[in-house]
Chain A
Amino acid sequence: MTLYLLCLALFSVGLYGVLRKRNLVKIIIGLGIIEYSMNLFFVLLGYRYHGRAPIDAQAQDILNMVDPLPQALVLTSIVIGLGVTALVISIAIRIYEKYGTFDITKIKRLKG
């Protein structure tokens, strides 16, 4: 239970960064931290005490493995996270070329 709460604390740090910071790179870093915490949370849900990695070996009981399903889904999620980060960073680079700043309050023409 403590581990879940620590994971939530990590998520909160990322959420604070996304909501409070005005630098675009800091916002992207906050998104990355949120992604890390969610991946870790899924893997924590599948952990079993004294379990072993989900790889078959001779003469071992098959039922004391950790849950391989969250691991498979998180594997997908990590790679998609890389794609998202790369896309957002490229948009940030274009914004810097056009406006000369990363400060979201100085980017005037994006205001509604």
Chain B
Amino acid sequence: MELHLLLLFMIITAIIAIEVKDLLSSVVAVGAVGFALCVAFLILKAPDLAITQLVVEILCLIILIRATIKKDLPLVIEGRWVFNTVSTVVFVAVFLFFAYAALRELPQFGEPMMSVVKKYLEEGTSETGAVNLVTAVILDFRAYDTLGEATVLFTAVIGIMAVLRPRGRKKVEEKE
């Protein structure tokens, strides 16, 4: 029941974040969605995820505020309003149709398919020595996954450095 309330809160806050005029208020509202998600992870018995989500959310908010501060602009609605809205609603309706068709194939809420993870649960502690099974999965059974994650993260950092550099290397050499 509290999960339903939390999800309703997330949906309402997300609508506020999308619809409010002021960009900084919008960023604050999306922060509220992220922290509600953190609480939802705690209720769903995923403490590792709650910790990670908290840290990531704070970093995300700092980055978003850096992008939006002092850069407000009034949005004027002009031209093709009807076309844009109708096409958006059509896309969302198509998505909801297919998502609902897929939803009926999923297992019921509260009774997960434990077919893959049964081996991890039975042998996890004896094979890896990790008490926390989530860390046993990400650092031992699926360690290549974590390696790929680190690769993606550092690639993103290289991309940010390349994009945000104020001037290219060639110009600096020419000046010297």
Interface of A toward B, CB cutoff 8 Å:
1-17, 19-23, 25-26, 28-30, 32-33, 36, 39-40, 43-49, 51-56, 62-63, 65-69, 71-76, 78-87, 89-94, 96, 101-103
Determine whether the beta carbon of A87 is less than 8 Å from that of B163: yes
Contacts of B30 in A (CB 8 A): 29, 32-33
Contacts of B4 in A (CB 8 A): 2-3, 6
Question: Top 3 A-B pairs ranked by shortest CB distance?
Answer: A83-B156, A72-B137, A49-B110
Determine whether the beta carbon of A82 is less than 8 Å from that of B14: no
B contact face: mostly helix, strand, loop, or mixed: helix
Interface of B toward A, CB cutoff 8 Å:
3-4, 7-8, 10-11, 14-15, 17-18, 23, 26-27, 30, 33-34, 37, 40-41, 44-49, 52-53, 56, 59-60, 63-64, 66-68, 71, 73, 75, 84-85, 87-88, 91-92, 95-96, 99-100, 103, 106-112, 114, 116-117, 120-122, 125, 131-134, 136-138, 142, 145-146, 149, 152-153, 155-157, 159-160, 163-164
Determine whether the beta carbon of A33 is less than 8 Å from that of B68: no
Given contacts A12-B96, A66-B44, contact A76 B145 (CB under 8 A): yes
Of all chain B residues, the one with the shortest Cβ separation from A73 is B145
Contacts of A11 in B (CB 8 A): 95, 99
Identify 20 residue pairs between A and B in the complex whose beta-carbon atoms are under 8 Å apart, listed by A's number.
A11-B99, A12-B95, A13-B11, A14-B14, A39-B49, A48-B111, A54-B133, A55-B47, A68-B117, A68-B133, A68-B137, A69-B116, A72-B142, A76-B146, A82-B59, A82-B153, A83-B153, A87-B160, A94-B164, A101-B73
How long is the Cα–Cα vector from A28 to B27 in the complex, in angstroms? 10
Determine whether the beta carbon of A89 is less than 8 Å from that of B52: no
- Among B30, B46, B73, B120: residue with most chain A CB under 10 A: B46
Determine whether the beta carbon of A40 is less than 8 Å from that of B109: no
How long is the Cα–Cα vector from A14 to B155 in the complex, in angstroms? 26
Determine whether the beta carbon of B67 is less than 8 Å from that of A80: no
Min distance, Cβ B146 to any Cβ of chain A, angstroms: 7
Determine whether the beta carbon of A36 is less than 8 Å from that of B10: yes
A contact face: mostly helix, strand, loop, or mixed: helix
Contacts of B117 in A (CB 8 A): 67-69
Given contacts A39-B37, A52-B45, A83-B156, contact A45 B68 (CB under 8 A): no
How long is the Cα–Cα vector from A47 to B95 in the complex, in angstroms? 25
Of all chain B residues, the one with the shortest Cβ separation from A14 is B14
